[in-house]
Structure 1
Amino acid sequence: MTQRPAIIVAATPTSNGDLHLGHMAGPYLSGDVYARYLAATGRDVVYTTITDDSQTYVSTTAQRQGLSPEALRATSTDAIAASMRALGIGIDGMPPIGASYRETVLTFVERLHRNGSLRLRKVRMPVARATGQVLFDGFLGGTCPACLAGSSGGVCEGCGHPNHFDQLLDAAPALDPGAEFEYREYEVLVLPLEEYRERLRAYYDERRDLWRPHARQLIQELLAGPLPDVPVTVPGDWGLPAPFAETPGQRIYPWIEAMPAVMYASAWVVAQREPAQRGPAPAETDDLWRRDRDAEIVYFHGYDNVYYWGLVDLALLMAHDDRYALPATNVCNEFYELDGQKFSTSRNHLVWTRDLLDGVPRDVARFYLALTAPEFQRSTFTRPALRTTTGARLIRPWNELAAQLAVLTGKVVDTELPTTENGRLRAKVLTKRFAGCYELATFSMGRAAAMVADQLDRLRAASGDLKDDPVALGDLLLEVRALLAGAAPLLVDVAARAEGQGVELRLDDSEPPESITVFTLPALTGDHDGTGRS
């Protein structure tokens, strides 16, 4: 039976800087692990993201750094792609933002306009008196009206609630908080979420068990009150020009771009797999997302993006009159902290991904980030904990098992060893337990990493007790192969080396073989304290 194709989308990174560990331990590594798991079960997988160039934070960061937004965008896109490659994130490059991208976005929003999904609204928005700049999202700072924490415009990073137009309390220009501003009225086009209330509620009721508790709570809070009008156009000079006669001179609201952007990115990934093509034709960029393609669509993002990815983008798909498949769920992570405090670029309180990888092997870094990922609550990164934890729980036991297996397999003459029914049963149990860590309803990189460590200890002890018995060794190798397959979505370099020996690393429900080809377990690079020094 043909399995459903899968489209895995990681949150679109803003092109105003590189990716630090706080970014990487969330959606990008999680999405990569899930995509690798699905591929190991035989699924056709597209894993993608795309830089979010129209976000106001590109403009504000550029101004703070004395750069042009275009220069910052270009260097940031290159840095983001390099960091993803360095950590082994299996995204096939960053799709270019060009004519095909722009036409995809415009086609998407114009279809909404033609089918009557958008409404013209008169709203109040803050405007800087000296410059005339309309202040929204990253241009604006103040107090969240839902939780009273400090917040930018658009959405509160802390509680996840939106604050569009004039809702932010104690508002002030973000770049110059003392600058004078006033409120002016504008007519903008909006998507009225309230009109989708019943469909949204039915969708979440059907999928509530696939959502993590904190994100599910936020959705329930939002549905408990009036749903907001989401801006589709805004007055401004940054972002894509809006194509609508009713809103001359306005731009498409940056968050509206995300949905057609990832459709374009998905098509671009598929096009890269076809050497004869240089990119998808604009009219075809949404093909993978059509309802009749029946793709399983999964978003990976942080809690602060639940409102946009979980609610706004869902309504945008619904507004296209059943043209598109709806996502299976959103897998949302909490904040990853450094030494107990939030990562902060402005305070230089961070660890850049590639800086960490200068001293730590990629598999070791991926294992530790997976083990400590903020899946259900905030968690913290420290270098001492990385060294001690990976040394004790991964590097030392893994390499001891590899050494013991090398001795045992070095004594056998045959290249193919028999396995027993009991050995096959144990290997199958192991594979099933790993699948339970990776399946969508119970997805947890942390549990998968912990299981790798736990099974290492068990198999290392078993190998130490093994005598010169080829049947027992065949059973042990079968279990080690199951361990390798279960660890493969995390330990990508070890997995590649094993597959280079011809070891098949499958995580489907196929029956384990009655014999197994002798192989060696690739060692992990790095010393026992996890620093990566030889």
Structure 2
Amino acid sequence: MSSLHLIVAPPPTPNGDLHVGHMSGPYLAADIYRRYTLQQGNRAVYCVSSDDHQSYVDTTAERLGTTSAALIAQARRDIQASFDAYSIGLDRFGQPNAEYAEFVTNFFTALAAKRLIRPATVPVLYDAQRGSYPVEAFVSGRCPNCLEGTCGGICEGCGHPNSCTDLLGLDGNRYQVRQEERLILDLEQFRPALDDHLNGLGTHRPALRRLIRQLLADKLKPFVLSYKTPRGIDTGAWGLPGQHLNVWGEMYPGHMYWLTKTAGDAIADAEYVQFLGFDNSYFYVFVHVALALAARQCGFQWPLPSAFITNQFYNLPNGKFSTSKGNAIWARDLALEYNTDLARLFLALHGPEYQEATFSEPIFKRAVDDLAAKINKLAATYNSKRNRNQTGQEAIPAEVARLMSQELSLKEYSNAELARRAIHALQYLEHWLATNDAASTACIPSAIILCLDALCPQYTSALQQQFSIREHSWTSPARRPFDMLPEIQVQYAHAAL
């Protein structure tokens, strides 16, 4: 029986378009997983929304001399175009609206009624120069854990949270620590359940496993759920007017809102898989799971995550990709020059799944040339033999079917592993076809589609249409021996751009 998989990636910040670093991370990874899940005979729903209340929108708008609203509108159009260019098959790209805000407010009201969240006096940072309370993008210093330069809230280097007040190197004449009321989520009260769930998953990649161990070694600090920021969902309903929800707290019920809008009540019994960059781990793994546990105490029928599929940073030779700093190779710029199917395949093979990696366009170009050559060699061999070998062994070679039909569990899932399997299978098929006189060409189009469908969807969609292939599997490939196989092109101009 097929199962429903709920797939979520973090909301992109609408302060600009997506760069190659974004695309190499959770957005492409989640789409490949979605397509792979469907190929296994399961159902899948993939939802993303835009992080409209994120502070980086405001700092970027200020830098560009525009308004936050105008920046969000343009960035959403750009982000959608980038998703389309890379065949990211979203079931929903949501944008916060009044109904969304009401859903999120009702969720936190239910938690407040059971005292699972509450106002409390906490230390907060005050900027005397600007007369504001800086958080996240509005303040930077040194991480108190690893000493790397960081903004407020979270350290992108080590993944540890900070409260802004504990950042090192702040100007003591400008910044003051004040004691004020904020809405808090006491993470420590959820420690036993957090420990049990997080350490029971067995799906964490090494960096996340290490972070979980480090954070659980000490008392978990309360998570501050409200800020004095210019925009967001107002917290007046919980006795704190003039403040807004911390976007990382807002995000959890937001995900459930979009999933419910898309899949309905079926989400209660579904498998929930969260893709994310490692730098967001604290929020997703501790804050969101704690909120999910609180939700269950309030009667919400929402699933706990089955896995957190993390990726590390993808860098440029001169530093990190950064939209807010304008240091980037934009995903759509790359799509103007290269076939995004091959870009997807390259990023699956060489993306930063387990450790940081560096994107080099010369290396990328050589690699996609090589990948295209491997695919096209099989197409050429097929085309040379298609009229001579329309009979004989019609099944896909057992060795290929065995390799490609082995289902990857969430514990071992990897885009790179899927891509390596596909390339090795195609190379084996080419050799088998070239050296085996009894080999039939009939199964080859079907086999190529099965190998590449999750990775190169534009190419496989074209093959499905050309060869009229609808239903097929590794054990029952479609027989289509007549047409010429097209080559996969390395460079092209994407029509949508």
The two structures have a TM-score, normalised by structure 1, of 0.86
Whether the aligned pair in 2 keeps the contact of 1:123 and 1:165 (CA below 8 Å) is no
Correspondence for 2:290: 315
Aligned AA (1:257): E
Correspondence for 1:171: 170
Structure 1 residues 125-134 or 478-487, which shifts more? 478-487
Correspondence for 1:44: 43
Correspondence for 2:207: 214
CA-CA distance at 1:420 after TM superposition:
6.5
State how far apart, in whole Å, the 1-side matches of 2:243 and 2:388 are.
Answer: 75
Correspondence for 1:502: 468
Question: Which one of the candidate residues 309, 312, 315 is aligned to 1:331?
Answer: 309
CA-CA distance at 1:165 after TM superposition:
4.9
Aligned AA (1:408): K
1:196 partnered with 2:190: yes
CA-CA distance at 1:182 after TM superposition:
2.2
State how far apart, in whole Å, the 2-side matches of 1:92 and 1:368 are.
Answer: 24
Correspondence for 1:68: 67
Question: Which one of the candidate residues 456, 481, 488 is aligned to 2:446?
Answer: 481
Whether the aligned pair in 2 keeps the contact of 1:81 and 1:93 (CA below 8 Å) is no
Correspondence for 1:26: 25
Question: Which one of the candidate residues 441, 463, 476 is aligned to 1:512?
Answer: 476
What secondary structure is seen at the aligned counterpart in 1 of 2:124? Answer: strand
Correspondence for 1:253: 246
What secondary structure is seen at the aligned counterpart in 1 of 2:337? Answer: coil
Whether the aligned pair in 2 keeps the contact of 1:136 and 1:154 (CA below 8 Å) is yes
Aligned AA (2:8): V
The 1:427–1:462 alpha-carbon spacing in structure 2 relative to 1, beyond 3 Å, is closer
Correspondence for 2:398: 425
Question: Which one of the candidate residues 262, 274, 283 is aligned to 1:299?
Answer: 274
CA-CA distance at 1:340 after TM superposition:
6.5
Question: Which one of the candidate residues 377, 381, 405 is aligned to 2:359?
Answer: 381
Structure 1 residues 482-491 or 178-187, which shifts more? 178-187
Aligned AA (2:462): R
Aligned AA (2:187): L
CA deviation vs aligned residue, 1:39-73 (integer Å, no higher than 9, x gap): 11221211011011111111111111111111111
What secondary structure is seen at the aligned counterpart in 2 of 1:228? Answer: coil
Whether the aligned pair in 1 keeps the contact of 2:404 and 2:421 (CA below 8 Å) is no
State how far apart, in whole Å, the 1-side matches of 2:173 and 2:233 are.
Answer: 27
Superposed, which structure 2 residues align to 1:45-444 within 5 Å? 45-171=44-170, 180-207=174-201, 209-270=202-263, 287-289=265-267, 293-320=268-295, 321=297, 323=300, 324-339=302-317, 341-345=319-323, 348-392=326-370, 394-411=371-388, 417=391, 419=393, 423=396, 425-433=398-406, 435-436=407-408, 439-444=409-414
CA deviation vs aligned residue, 1:353-389 (integer Å, no higher than 9, x gap): 0000001011111111111110111112111111211
CA deviation vs aligned residue, 1:468-525 (integer Å, no higher than 9, x gap): x4xx215xx4366334312210011111012212335766xx7436x83426574344
CA deviation vs aligned residue, 1:84-109 (integer Å, no higher than 9, x gap): 11111011452232111111111111
Aligned AA (2:213): Q
Return 5+ residue gaps in structure 1 as ranges. 173-177, 271-283
Whether the aligned pair in 2 keeps the contact of 1:266 and 1:288 (CA below 8 Å) is no
CA-CA distance at 1:20 after TM superposition:
0.2
Correspondence for 1:278: none
State how far apart, in whole Å, the 2-side matches of 1:479 and 1:197 are.
Answer: 53
What secondary structure is seen at the aligned counterpart in 1 of 2:333? Answer: helix
The two structures have a TM-score, normalised by structure 2, of 0.92
The 1:340–1:189 alpha-carbon spacing in structure 2 relative to 1, beyond 3 Å, is same
State how far apart, in whole Å, the 1-side matches of 2:95 and 2:277 are.
Answer: 24
State how far apart, in whole Å, the 2-side matches of 1:339 and 1:506 are.
Answer: 44
Aligned AA (1:212): R
State how far apart, in whole Å, the 1-side matches of 2:420 and 2:364 are.
Answer: 14
RMSD: 2.4
Return 5+ residue gaps in structure 2 as ranges. none
The 1:164–1:146 alpha-carbon spacing in structure 2 relative to 1, beyond 3 Å, is same
Aligned AA (2:127): A
The 1:151–1:5 alpha-carbon spacing in structure 2 relative to 1, beyond 3 Å, is same
The 1:457–1:179 alpha-carbon spacing in structure 2 relative to 1, beyond 3 Å, is farther
CA deviation vs aligned residue, 1:116-145 (integer Å, no higher than 9, x gap): 201322112122224421111111111111
Structure 1 residues 217-226 or 317-326, which shifts more? 317-326
State how far apart, in whole Å, the 2-side matches of 1:419 and 1:40 are.
Answer: 24
CA-CA distance at 1:262 after TM superposition:
1.4
CA-CA distance at 1:214 after TM superposition:
0.9
